[in-house]
């Protein structure tokens, strides 16, 4: 609207891209260019400050930073590229007036590029396209520009959005350029493009204070912190405010602290103006999507819509015989309930429901990785818990059963594509595209049910000898695709408690892959390996070699153990079946049967068979 007032000395912009296309590295280079942060020796990616982010090399939590360039304050937000953290991306885009879309100069647009760009275009944000990693061998920046333009057209971008500026960059080398023939060595071309192409924020200082809460933070000293952008007016420490809840209730509070970003550091301020991205403390009941406004004229802003969860798991306290022996500090259902309630309050992508009278909790999220990150965070905080296999969330619309479908892009060396196509064909996947890349690899695109993908990532690595690359994104709900193959192998189950013995494991490793080391503690019902023959097998892993007083050269065979699989949370969640659980403690990840004794398992199987027969007879 022509009469909207804008604040000319501020630009709010988000960095969006597919996983590992270099968002965080570009932000670091911009901070270096503007002198907003002094790097320590050996420090490279300062925005990924969370230990999990450093280990996995991905951005999980969105973060803010600010820098000053040519007397203009640029607020930058680094967003997650993984589709599982889509709730973060969606909320962050409400804070900004423009987006910097990063695309890898070799890989080109990928599924999550499409995901984050679609969200941006729906919010009518103007993009700046940065073709990153132009220093990579086999980079093809000109071809990637054409692919990106095709993607914009596919997503129905407006003519104005299609007129996007293009910047070529190498975040690693800290340089950008508007022309590939120009050997510019700094980040100024990108900073100038942001200033000229991103609109100043709409900000009317004369109207009463209004702010939409897009992120929640928590501090043990000052309590809940609301993060958002001031839409109108200004606010000072000590000002009375009104929280307008989703239900329309008005709750009066007082601002006790205002925090803003200076570089990467959060600094306290006495006053903030429209257009600023700030954090406010003093509103204890605030939730994401609610409005904090002036008591003079409290009007709610449009709330944030977040994509629905597609995967759920059951969390419960650890009931294994080894509970409490691994340094866990939070062992009870009450501890887990409080932690999950806190997570659901801070993370709008997570939904928590109680089951079995509060003994178990159904936790729903946007994908396996989304929930795996929560579990990993909890175990590092000292929680012990049991987790059931991930289940997709079905919908029923007009009597039809619908299930979530994912778009999957797989890139493999030529020669492996036949095995991949056969495996995904068995999982009822539909191939949509296959083409050869400039370096001779094969890139394939499939549409496949989310539940059919569970366990496939590890299978892909096995069949491609670790060279296959897979990325996936939620597409839509489609009619139920029918049954898909289950795990073809059985498991080896510990017969009783004790410590595993190398001699016993040596005799068992011919049956299948082993998950434990000699000397590891065992209990009855614990899963210690794979049984290749397809059915579950109860084994004795604590059996020692019988000693005799007869010795002869060469009569004793040397024990050669294959190194066991390093148990990771992702593998464990993909591997287990309906009657199995993952035991998660601060020090170990173990697999176990839901019912530990053989008699319990047989009784439960008999009950299940009877129930299935009864249902079939009624049907």
Q: Which residues are annotated as a binding site?
A: 20-25, 132-135
Q: Which tokens go with 262?
A: 């200076």
Q: Which helix (H) or strand (E) holds 15?
A: strand 10-17
How far apart (Å, rounded) are the C-alpha atoms in residues 30 and 46?
12
Tokens matching residue 556: 């004793």
The C-alpha atoms of residue 190 and residue 436 are separated, in whole angstroms, by 32
At residue 272, what are phi and psi to the nearest 5 degrees? -135, 150
- Tokens read off for 552: 């002869």
Distance, CA of 348 to CA of 288 (rounded, Å): 7
Give the total residue count for the chain: 619
Strand partners, 278: 228, 260
Say if residues 331 and 384 touch (Cβ distance below 8 Å). Answer: yes
In whole angstroms, how large is the CA radius of gyration of the chain? 27
Distance CA 265, CA 125 (A): 27
Cβ atoms within 10 Å of 80's Cβ, excluding its own:
26
Residues 136 and 168: beta-carbon distance below 8 Å: no
CA distance 320 to 249: 45
Q: E strands of 143-302, at which residues?
A: 166-170, 175-177, 210-219, 223-232, 234-236, 240-244, 250-254, 257-262, 265-269, 271-273, 277-281, 291-293
Q: Residue 93: beta bridge partners?
A: none
CA–CA distance, 546 with 549 (Å, rounded to integer): 10
CA 123 distance to own-chain centroid = 22
Contacts of 574 (CB under 8 A, 6+ apart): 368, 454, 455, 456, 457, 458
Residue with tokens 């709409």: 202
**Strand segments (E) across 369-468:** 385-387, 391-392, 395-397, 400-413, 430-436, 441-449
* 313 in Cβ contact with 386 (< 8 Å): no
Q: Give the residue ranges of the annotated binding site for GTP.
A: 20-25, 132-135
Residue corresponding to tokens 């070799």: 106
Cβ count near 506 (within 10 Å): 18
> What does 490-536 look like in DSSP terms, one character per residue?
EEEEE-SSEE--HHHHHHHTTTS-B---TT-EE-TTEEEEEETTSS-
DSSP state for residue 549 in the 8-state scheme: S
The rounded distance, in Å, linking the Cα atoms of 412 and 417 is 7
Q: What is the Cα–Cα distance from 379 to 585, expressed in whole angstroms?
A: 6
Asked if 242 and 298 touch (Cβ cutoff 8 Å), the reply is yes
CA angle (132, 229, 261) in 5-degree steps: 65
DSSP 156: T
**CA–CA distance, 259 with 231 (Å, rounded to integer):** 16
């Amino acid at each position: 609207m022509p009469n909207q007032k804008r604040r000319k000395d501020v630009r709010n912009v988000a960095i969006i891209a597919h996983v590992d296309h270099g968002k965080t590295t570009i932000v670091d280079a911009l901070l270096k260019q503007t002198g907003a942060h002094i790097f320590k020796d050996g420090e490279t990616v300062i925005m990924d400050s969370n230990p999990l982010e450093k280990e996995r090399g991905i951005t999980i939590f969105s973060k803010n930073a600010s820098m000053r360039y040519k007397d203009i304050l640029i607020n930058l937000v680094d967003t997650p590229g993984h589709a599982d953290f889509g709730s973060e991306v969606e909320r962050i885009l409400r804070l900004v007036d423009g987006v910097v879309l990063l695309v890898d100069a070799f890989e080109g647009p990928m599924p999550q590029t499409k995901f984050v760009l679609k969200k941006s275009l729906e919010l009518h944000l103007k993009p700046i396209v940065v073709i990153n990693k132009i220093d990579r061998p086999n980079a093809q920046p000109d071809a990637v520009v054409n692919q990106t333009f095709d993607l914009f057209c596919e997503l129905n971008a407006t003519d104005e959005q299609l007129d996007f500026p293009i910047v070529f960059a190498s975040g690693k080398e800290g340089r950008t350029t508007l022309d590939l023939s120009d050997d510019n060595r700094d980040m100024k071309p990108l900073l100038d493009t942001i200033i000229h192409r991103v609109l100043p924020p709409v900000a009317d200082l004369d109207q009463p204070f209004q702010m939409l809460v897009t992120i929640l933070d928590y501090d043990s000293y000052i309590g809940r912190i609301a993060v958002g952008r001031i839409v109108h007016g200004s606010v000072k420490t000590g000002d009375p405010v009104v929280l307008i809840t989703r239900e329309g209730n008005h709750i009066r509070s007082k601002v006790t602290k205002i925090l803003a970003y200076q570089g990467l550091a959060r600094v306290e301020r006495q006053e903030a103006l429209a257009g600023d991205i700030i954090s406010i403390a003093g509103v204890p009941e605030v939730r994401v999507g609610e409005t904090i406004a002036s008591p003079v004229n409290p009007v709610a802003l449009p709330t944030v819509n977040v994509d629905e969860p597609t995967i759920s798991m059951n969390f419960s306290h650890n009931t294994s015989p080894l509970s409490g022996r691994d340094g866990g500090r939070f062992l009870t259902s009450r501890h887990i309930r409080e932690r999950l309630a806190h997570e659901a309050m801070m993370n709008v992508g997570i939904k928590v429901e109680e089951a079995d009278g509060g003994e178990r909790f159904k936790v729903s999220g946007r994908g396996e990785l989304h929930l795996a990150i929560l579990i990993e965070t909890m175990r590092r905080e000292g929680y012990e818990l049991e987790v059931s296999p991930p289940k997709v969330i079905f919908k029923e619309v007009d009597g039809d059963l619908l299930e979530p479908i994912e778009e999957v892009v797989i890139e493999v060396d030529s020669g492996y594509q036949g095995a991949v196509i056969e495996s995904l064909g068995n999982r009822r996947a539909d191939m949509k595209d296959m083409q050869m890349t400039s370096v001779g690899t094969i890139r394939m695109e499939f549409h496949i049910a989310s539940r059919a993908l569970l366990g496939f990532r590890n299978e892909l690595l096995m069949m491609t000898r670790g060279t296959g690359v897979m990325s996936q994104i939620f597409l839509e709900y489609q009619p139920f695709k029918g049954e898909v193959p289950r795990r073809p192998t059985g498991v080896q189950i510990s017969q009783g408690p004790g410590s595993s013995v190398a001699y016993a494991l040596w005799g068992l490793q011919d049956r299948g892959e082993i998950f434990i080391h000699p000397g590891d503690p065992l209990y009855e019902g614990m899963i210690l390996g794979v049984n290749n023959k397809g059915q579950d097998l109860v084994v004795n892993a604590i059996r020692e070699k019988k000693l005799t007083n007869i010795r002869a050269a060469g009569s004793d065979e040397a024990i050669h153990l294959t190194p066991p699989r390093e148990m990771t949370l992702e593998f464990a969640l993909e591997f287990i079946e309906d009657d199995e659980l993952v035991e998660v403690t601060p020090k170990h990840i173990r697999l176990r049967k839901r019912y530990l004794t053989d008699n319990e398992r047989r009784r439960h199987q008999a009950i299940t068979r009877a129930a299935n027969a009864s249902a079939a007879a009624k049907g």
